[in-house]
Homo-oligomer: A and B are copies of this chain.
Amino acid sequence: MLTAVRRFLFGSPLPTAEEVHQRLTKVKALAVFSSDALSSVAYATEEILLVLVVAGSAALGFSLPIALVIAGLLAIVATSYYQTIHGYPSGGGAYIVAYDNLGVWPGLTAAAALLIDYVLTVAVSITAGIAAITSAFPVLLPFRVELCLLAIALIAWANLRGVRESGTLFAIPTYGFVFIFLTLIVVGLVRLITGTLSPALVHTTPGVGRGTQALTLFLILRAFASGCTALTGIEAISNGIPAFQKPEADNAGKTLIAMAALLMTMFLGITFLARSLGVTPVEDQTVVSQIGRQVFGNGPLYLALQAATALILVLAANTSFADFPRLSAILARARYLPRQLTNLGDRLVFANGIIALAFLASSLVVVFGGQTHRLIPLYAVGVFLSFTLSQMGMVRHWHKERGQGWQWKVAVNGLGAVATGAVLLVIAASKFIHGAWIVILLIPIFVWMFRTIKRHYLTLAKQLSLEGLGLEEWVGMASYQTHKVVVPVSGMHRGTLAALRFARSLSKDVTAVVVDVEPQFTASVREKWPVWGHDVPLVVLESPYRSTIGSLLAYLDEVDQREPERGPAVVVLPEFVPARWWHHLLHNQTALLLKTVLTYRQGQTGQDRVIIDVPYHLRR
């Protein structure tokens, strides 16, 4: 029954042998790896405007110079990653590059930053995607948190079933998005030049004209920091090089350049249009939606724009659902995370990682009310920390390798490291009180957690190791040893008989024990014992404090101490198993409790006690 539901939801199990990889052409690879980066143009401009608007609508003019600086930064980072692709053709994620070249601590720091980023990518992309939908259909606005949770659940479900990163599947929404965005920009520019589009405010927010804060340098830096979210996802190609057709690194490099060019064009175009049309950020409609309504009107082209935006943002979230479980499996294999994260599920996916990501991203969405701009301050810190560590790692890499033209390569990655490091400081400082502090606090906590987990696994391996064990002590033992066996009895019933029978088949030295909590029960056991007791001696334990478990434990300790050389007595537990789950609620869970206590508690002799469960199934 449960299995059938599971099959229906997640499909039949896939054999391990089906784990094959498909190689991607450049065109398909761009679709697969760029959704995260390209989709950020859907919100990056708006985030800049949202900061500037507090200084009044005049301040919005700064958006264009800020966007140009960000575009320059994008060029630096893209060049830097172009080199990483050639330095790590097998895939150079920030964790691997930092770990290899800078050591354990920077590696773990990068890993922590990346894990946090993946969670935030899901939360930011989904809230922005749902914002694209609620902009077109404002009636849905009150349900945005619910819609976000639904979207996350659907993506998680698709990933649990196992979506292949199929190029064809990704190509349609990605290229659709690029196409409609470029159309928007071109049509908008043409209509601006021909004068058929007059700059008119769609909404006028009261009081926006004046603004509530002065336009300080700090505010401009904060707007810049918000806009830097446009760069998120740019590293994706450098992680996925093995998926490219041969020559992998060359193809990946070209794809990266194409992606960076597209991203820069779209980001600058949207920011320019927003400025020229005098768009002001409002609560219930995104900036892109406002531009779309002005340029396209309310017709099918506008709806297509919103649909494409929502779709690519869902794809962007989806990339994290591939990256997060993969990185956590890598960390788990290195023993820095619980080993359950390495389990390849029925459908050849890291199911636990997918579930963890969905849970964490959903929590963020709920806590931050499904609002993109409240999540943004948390977002960029981790991204730029991993950028910086990765570039620093590459500097070290070239320096160690000293290949042809290594000084030049060091200079390029060095510039990247300095630029992203400076931006990181700007972001951390300007966004600190708005939420960046959360990530700044979380990263060392994660690193500490990684180390603690690793230490546990190492200690464990040492304790369980066979090295230095004496063969005689552990293997050369006589068979058919006569164990001391104790059977706790709660009443005379078929379950008791089954347990006694098994105990007698084990050993001649069996004792049954009943704790005298309810006198009438004890009397009934005593009465039936001569007939049904398998000739086993019956011990009645007084229990003035009515503690069944306490009395049994004391008795077991006493038995063990009588002949310590024979080891702890084996406990045979009669347990009847109800036919329906709710029947459990109607029974004292004494057997379960006793089992748990005995498992966790070592006997006074310090040896481990064996516990034998003899179930007796009830039929209804």
Are B532 and A610 in touch, CB under 8 angstroms?
A: no
Residues of B within 8 A of A344 (CB): 546
Are the C-beta atoms of B547 and A586 separated by less than 8 Å? no
A615 CB contact (under 8 Å) in B340, B453, B471, B599: B599
Instruction: Establish whether residues B493 and A474, one from each chain, have CB atoms under 8 Å apart when the complex forms.
Output: no
Q: Which chain B residues border A505 with CB–CB below 8 Å? A: 477-481, 483
Q: Tell whether A146 is near chain B: CB-to-CB under 8 Å.
A: no
Q: Is A307 an interface residue (CB 8 A)?
A: no
How far is B465's CA from A337's CA once the two chains are assembled, in angstroms? Answer: 51
A620: Cβ under 8 A from any B Cβ: yes
- Nearest B residue to A335 by beta-carbon distance? B586
| A620 CA / B456 CA spacing, docked (Å) | 9
Decide if A497 is an interface residue (CB 8 Å cutoff).
yes
Partner of A16, one of B345, B494, B501, B544: B544
A402 adjacent to chain B (CB < 8 Å): no
Q: CB within 8 A of A600: which of B14, B506, B577?
A: B577
Query: What per-residue 1/0 map shows which CB atoms of A487-510 lie under 8 Å from chain B?
Result: 000001111011001101110100
A457 at the interface (CB under 8 A from B): yes
| A6 to B: closest C-beta gap in Å | 12
A614 touches which of B493, B583, B610 (Cβ 8 Å): B610
Q: Mark A577-620, 1 if CB is under 8 A from B, else 0.
A: 11000010111100000010001101000001111111111111
B460 touches A618 (CB 8 A): yes
- Identify which of B478, B492, B547 contacts A466 (C-beta below 8 A): B492
CA distance A498 to B585 in the complex (A): 35
Do A475 and B346 touch across chains, with their CB atoms under 8 A apart? no
Which of chain B's residues have a CB closer than 8 A to the CB of A546?
13, 16, 343-346
Partner pick for A532 among B345, B466, B479, CB 8 A cutoff: B466
Interface 0/1 of A420-459, CB less than 8 Å to B:
0000000000000000000000000000000001001101
A502 pairs with B610, CB closer than 8 A: yes
* Interface: A217 (CB within 8 A): no
List of B residues within 8 angstroms of A16 by Cβ: 544-546
> Does A139 lie at the interface of the complex (its beta carbon under 8 Å from any beta carbon of B)?
no
Our pick among B343, B466, B610 for the contact of A497 (Cβ within 8 Å) is B466
A602 vs B3: C-alpha distance when bound (angstroms): 17
A516 CB to nearest B CB, Å:
10
B residues within 8 A CB of A599?
575, 577, 613, 615
Bound complex: CA of A506 vs CA of B485, how far in Å? 12
State which of B474, B576, B613 has its C-beta within 8 Å of the C-beta of A613: B613
Q: Which of A480, A481, A578, A610 has the most CB of B within 10 A?
A: A610
**Which B residues lie within 8 Å of A164 (CB)?**
none
Query: Is the CB of A469 closer than 8 A to any CB of chain B?
Result: yes
| Chain B minimum-CB-distance residue to A452 | B582
Chain B residues, CB < 8 A from A471: 531-532
A71-97 CB mask vs B (1 if < 8 Å, else 0) is 000000000000000000000000000
Closest to A346 in B: B545
CB of A338 within 8 A of chain B?
yes
> Which residues of the other chain, B, contact A457 by a CB distance below 8 angstroms?
586
A619 touches B463 (CB 8 A): yes
- A310-346 CB mask vs B (1 if < 8 Å, else 0) is 0000000000000000000000000000111001111
Inter-chain contact A474/B460, CB cutoff 8 Å: no
The reply to whether A612 and B611 contact each other, CB–CB distance below 8 Å, is: yes
| Cα A577 to Cα B601 with chains together (Å) | 10
CB-CB < 8 A to A338: which residues of B? 585-587
Once the chains bind, are B456 and A586 in contact (CB under 8 Å)? Answer: yes
What chain B residues lie within 8 Å of A481 (beta carbons)?
Answer: 505
Q: Which of A13, A17, A595 has the most CB of B within 10 A?
A: A13
Decide if A193 is an interface residue (CB 8 Å cutoff). no
The one of B508, B610, B615 that contacts A609, using a Cβ cutoff of 8 Å: B615
What are 18 A-B residue pairs whose CB atoms fall within 8 Å in the complex?
A13-B545, A339-B588, A343-B588, A346-B546, A456-B583, A457-B586, A463-B620, A466-B494, A466-B497, A474-B532, A475-B531, A477-B504, A480-B480, A498-B608, A577-B599, A602-B617, A608-B617, A610-B612
**Using a CB–CB distance below 8 Å, which chain A residues touch chain B?**
13-17, 338-340, 343-346, 453, 456-457, 459-460, 463-466, 469, 471, 474-475, 477-481, 483, 492-495, 497-498, 501-502, 504-506, 508, 528, 531-532, 534, 544-547, 575-578, 583, 585-588, 595, 599-600, 602, 608-620
Extra A-B contacts (6), CB below 8 Å, given A338-B586, A599-B615 = A16-B544, A16-B546, A460-B583, A480-B480, A481-B505, A498-B608
What are the 7 closest A-B residue pairs judged by CB atoms, nearest first?
A: A464-B493, A15-B544, A13-B545, A481-B505, A611-B613, A338-B586, A608-B615
